[in-house]
Amino acid sequence: MNEGNEEDTFSFIYPKRLVLIKQKWCDFCNKDNECFITELVHLFGYQYCIKCKDICEKHINVFCKYKKEYSTNKFIRKFDLSRANFNVKRSNGNIENNWQIDYTQFIKLRGNKYIIPMCSLGMFKYVDLVSLCDHNKKILDYKVIQKHFSEYFN
């Protein structure tokens, strides 16, 4: 077989719950190595060794693009929102403050809208990105976030 015509095979590995796991196990090379964890959302993601970091990132991108979902943890890190509190418009029209991004759920792409999981004092709701940015202009720049998501999903 000609080496120039060989294609790399790709076997997708689904992310896993990150509870009760072996501490030094790489999900990609299946070896006992010093490992790191990437959480897509709270306690859900991959374990990888330093050699498999790139393949882990590839799996994350395949998973998120296929599901049309984006890691809230990645979003929070990318836009430095770990300590941010947001104003959210409730169903009754009231604007409430002290909402946070819910890192236990994914950001979802539905149609051409991005919906962000939000929580406050045990309450949960998905909020359209446009609405969230409108009520939080000091924290969020819609154009920057929209550009980031457009580049990621296209």
pLDDT digit string, tens, across residues 7-54: 567 789 999 999 999 989 999 999 898 999 999 999 999 999 999 999
Task: With respect to residue 123, please indicate whether it lies within any of the assigned structural domains.
Answer: yes
Task: With respect to residue 147, please indicate whether it lies within any of the assigned structural domains.
Answer: yes
Task: With respect to residue 73, please indicate whether it lies within any of the assigned structural domains.
Answer: no
Mean pLDDT confidence for 57-63 = 96
Q: Which of the 8 DSSP states describes residue 76?
A: H
Task: With respect to residue 3, please indicate whether it lies within any of the assigned structural domains.
Answer: no
* pLDDT for position 7: 56
Residue-number span of the structural domain to which 104 is assigned: 78-153
User: Would you put residue 118 in left (φ > 0), alpha (ψ -120 to 50) or beta?
Assistant: beta
Task: With respect to residue 126, please indicate whether it lies within any of the assigned structural domains.
Answer: yes
Phi, then psi, of 126 in degrees rounded to 5: -90, 135
Same domain, 107 and 47: no
Q: Percent of the chain at pLDDT above 70?
A: 95
Same domain, 62 and 84: no
Q: Beta partners for 109? A: 114
Same domain, 108 and 137: yes
Type and span of the H or E element at 4: none
| Token pair recorded at residue 49 | 């060794």
Domain boundary among 67, 91, 114: 67
- Could you tell me the end-to-end alpha-carbon distance of the chain, in angstroms, rounded to an integer? 34
Name the pTM for this structure.
0.87
Type and span of the H or E element at 14: none
What residues contact 152, with CB distance under 8 A and at least 6 apart? 64, 65, 70
Number of domains observed in the structure of the chain: 2
Task: With respect to residue 4, please indicate whether it lies within any of the assigned structural domains.
Answer: no
| Token pair recorded at residue 4 | 């120039």
Same domain, 86 and 148: yes
